[in-house]
Structure 1
Amino acid sequence: MRADAARNRARVLQVAREQLAAGDDSLMLNAIARLAGVGVGTVYRHFPNRHALLEALLAESFQQLVREAQVAAADEDSLAGLHRLLRFALGRALDDAGFAAVLGSASDADARTSAMKAELDHAVAELLDRARRAGAIRHGIEADDVRRLLCGIEHAVRSGDNDAKYAEIYLDVLLEGLRPPR
């Protein structure tokens, strides 16, 4: 990437972060272009849509989630690692609707996002395999199932009154449901 293109991209990301920090999560690409002092075409060249911009803004957060999953996968107590990872991921998703949208998205705009999701799924698959071998979770649950269920909990909490107590209740229901049938 040329130096001026890199500067423009960084400026667009900075303005988008400022918009989010100010409480505006619309991420209107035309408005961001105007505020960043660049042409609309420049913004669309770097970020063809709002989702692509969200992915770029959340790359660091996703990398942190991947690290958390890798730590959880290495935990001696696989069930405790899974609980900790799910609480971390749900907390992040409830704190940031954009994070939840990218986590739950069936397709990615950027190959780096796809690669991070693959790393995440790999670590979660290792964790689930260890938990299955320990008899802690049922067979047939895969990493993408866990991601979908977690996104469902995030949606359920947001569609209610967004009370954190429901997040804990729903997460406990999920964890209980992951256990092998009695």
Structure 2
Amino acid sequence: MLDAARARIASGDLELPMNAIAKDAGVGVGTMYRHFATRRVLLETLAADSYAALIAEARAAAENPDVAAGLAGLLRAALRCQLDDAALAEVLASSSYECAETLELGRELGEVSLQVLTRARAAGVIRDDVTADDMRRLTCGIRRAVDSGDDSDGTAADRYLDVVLKGLRP
């Protein structure tokens, strides 16, 4: 079922119609709903591995002795993970979760992001009024901006992120 859902996402279908996924997976729709009570639960399940990978990258950013590079690394990782995994991008674009595992991942990412922000504020690298949720929203916005236009040379994400990083300075 997850493979069928991933195939739909890879083809650009983020609607994740449960009936169609069940058919693609060769199972009944009741089986889909027994495993994934809602489309949102399915989406969060699909994003879990990428979410965990993002947290690992966030931890590395928090431990970077170069505070500015750590902040930039966190934002680049968040953006890259969203560009690589449309399910994660959809999950991060929401402010609420249905799965306990996703709630825990969100809590963990928030804590690590706050560590990066606290260090960045203390070092004078970032404005005092920027929050971890601001950073989440900004990376989600950049991902949408990259997706909305032609990025044939693959430079838009870095260019947009550089603009945001400059705007975050005190």
Contact 2:58 2:77 in 1 (8 A): no
How big is the shift at 1:24?
A: 5.3
Identity within the alignment, %: 52
**More off after superposition, 89-98 vs 165-174:** 89-98
Query: TM-score, length-normalised on structure 2?
Result: 0.90
Contact 2:46 2:87 in 1 (8 A): no
What residue number does 2:142 align with? Answer: 153
* 1:14 to 1:116, Cα distance in 2 relative to 1, 3 A: same
Contact 2:40 2:98 in 1 (8 A): yes
What residue number does 2:75 align with? Answer: 86
For 1:63-102, list aligned pairs within 5 A.
63-102=52-91
For 1:14-33, list aligned pairs within 5 A.
14-21=3-10, 23=11, 25=13, 26-33=15-22
What residue number does 2:38 align with? Answer: 49
How big is the shift at 1:37?
A: 3.1
Contact 2:9 2:87 in 1 (8 A): no
* 1:147 to 1:13, Cα distance in 2 relative to 1, 3 A: same
2:131, 2:165 → 1: CA distance?
14
How big is the shift at 1:42?
A: 2.1
What residue number does 2:103 align with? Answer: 114
* 1:144 to 1:24, Cα distance in 2 relative to 1, 3 A: closer
The one-letter amino acid of 1:17's match is: R
2:67, 2:25 → 1: CA distance?
46
The runs of 5 or more residues in structure 1 that have no matched partner are 1-11
Equivalent residue in structure 2 for 1:165, among 131, 155, 161: 155
1:134 aligns with 2:116: no
After superposition, the C-alpha distances for 1:98-144 in whole angstroms (9 at most, x for unaligned) are: 22111111211211111101100100100110011111111011111
Q: CA RMSD in A?
A: 1.7
The runs of 5 or more residues in structure 2 that have no matched partner are none
2:9, 2:72 → 1: CA distance?
30
Highest Rg: 1 or 2? 1
Query: TM-score, length-normalised on structure 1?
Result: 0.84
Q: Secondary structure at the match of 1:58?
A: helix
1:132, 1:142 → 2: CA distance?
11
